[in-house]
Amino acid sequence: MINLCALDKPEAMTEMKEIVVRVDEEEYRMIINFKKVYDAVVETESDFNDYMRDVIKEGLDKMLSDLPPKNVNILLKTLQAMFRENPEFVCNFIVQILKKGSNISKEEEDRIKEIRGHYIA
């Protein structure tokens, strides 16, 4: 059994919540041993919870990036249908995303690209 602490709010590290995940022996060995690779890449011995949060965040980002259809036209038609159904929500969401995207610092963008470049092909 592996205990993970998950952030309640991504921007505020004040309140942590605990998640318990049961893994089989093979998954356990992979998680424990891959931490060596992670530590080598970040060039420091990381805290296990920090390591697991990064693994989970990167994994979720990767899974989400695999969701959109390869045919961009389908994605556009989906967005248009959502807009017709709930224009207020869709427009507010797009504005939020555009504002967040423009607020990412160059340093943070470079850090994210470096981390992803090491683990995601």
85-113 average pLDDT score: 78
Q: DSSP for 59-117?
A: HHHHHHHHSS-SSHHHHHHHHHHHHHH-HHHHHHHHHHHHHHHHH--HHHHHHHHHHHH
Average pLDDT over the chain reads 81
Q: What is the pLDDT of residue 107?
A: 64
Three-state DSSP at 5 gives strand
Q: What is the pLDDT of residue 75?
A: 83
93-112 average pLDDT score: 73
Is the confidence at residue 17, as pLDDT, over 70?
yes
pTM of the model: 0.54
1-27 average pLDDT score: 71
Residues 38-84: pLDDT tens digits? Answer: 999 989 999 999 999 999 999 988 887 777 777 788 888 888 999 99
88-106 average pLDDT score: 80
- Tell me the pLDDT band of 8, cut-offs 50, 70 and 90: very low
Is the confidence at residue 28, as pLDDT, over 80?
yes
